[in-house]
């Protein structure tokens, strides 16, 4: 297992879970967090080192073995299609390129259920396009996670609870048996555990992990 990590998107649900999981792993000796604003709780984690990023040009990364990308927004939060694309495509690709230049052989990214570069839906199309773009960067091992609706404690990271997410959390226990596993809402920490498991064990090449497999891979031990 590689022991030097770079992580982008630590302020989000999955990113925070990834940072916490890696900091608790004795095999992780360096955890470089790409941050647009100070996050004292995460910066205080064992082995964590902040790399300031103002949203402009991607800074150079130190030597790393594995890079993890949990960058992402929504059209509502971004405010426009251009702003959304600047995060979910431009920033993700810039981070992937910087990680590859820094020596990363393994890269794992959070995409989305339904990602498809040919989709008529803008959100799904951008997600599909960035998957293709990152594949072209040239990582030896690339894991693409496609979670369904993410659920978790957004209060803890200063984000508003989304109505659809709140409804999903409330109804999930009663209606899980009616919902195909691939479509069920998935906890962010489950996604984090699944990505780490996949990036550690996947053979060379590209591995796409759909939401139902994320549920299985990310089960608590």
Residue 147 pLDDT class (50, 70, 90 cuts): very high
DSSP 107-160: EEEE--TT--TT-SSHHHHHHHHHHHHHHTT--SEEEEEE-SSEES-SGGGT-P
Region 70-75 average pLDDT: 91
Average pLDDT over residues 82-102: 97
Q: Work out how many domains the chain is built from and give that number.
A: 1
What confidence category does residue 156 fall into, taking pLDDT thresholds of 50, 70 and 90? low
Segments forming the whole domain that contains residue 93: 4-217
Q: Name the least confident of 16-25, 109-118, 153-162.
A: 153-162
- Tell me the CATH number at 210: 3.40.50.720
Starting at the edge strand that comes first in sequence, how are the strands of the sheet with 106-110 ordered? Answer: 48-52, 30-35, 4-8, 66-69, 106-110, 141-146, 205-210
Range from 1-15, 61-75, 176-190 carrying the lowest mean pLDDT: 176-190
Is the model's pTM score more than 0.85?
A: yes
């Amino acid at each position: 297992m590689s022991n030097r990590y770079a992580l982008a998107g630590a302020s989000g649900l999955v990113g925070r879970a990834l940072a916490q999981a890696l900091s608790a792993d004795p095999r992780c000796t360096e955890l470089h967090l790409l941050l647009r604003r100070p996050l004292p709780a995460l910066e205080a984690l064992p082995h964590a080192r902040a790399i300031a990023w103002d949203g402009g040009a991607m800074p150079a990364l130190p030597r790393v073995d594995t890079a993890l990308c949990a960058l992402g927004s929504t059209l509502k939060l971004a405010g426009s299609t251009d702003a959304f694309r600047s995060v979910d495509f431009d920033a993700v690709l810039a981070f992937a390129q910087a990680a590859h230049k820094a020596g990363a052989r393994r890269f794992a990214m959070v995409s989305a259920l339904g990602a498809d570069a040919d989709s008529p839906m803008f959100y799904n199309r951008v997600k599909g396009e960035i998957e293709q773009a990152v594949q072209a960067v040239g990582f030896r091992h690339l894991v693409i996670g496609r979670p369904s609706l993410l659920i978790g404690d957004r209060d803890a990271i200063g984000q508003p609870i989304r109505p659809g997410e709140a409804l999903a959390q409330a109804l999930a226990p009663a209606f899980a048996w009616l919902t195909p596993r691939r479509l069920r809402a998935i906890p962010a920490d489950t996604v984090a555990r699944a990505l780490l498991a996949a990036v550690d064990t996947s053979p060379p090449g590209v591995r796409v992990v759909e939401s139902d497999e994320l549920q299985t891979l990310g089960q608590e031990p």
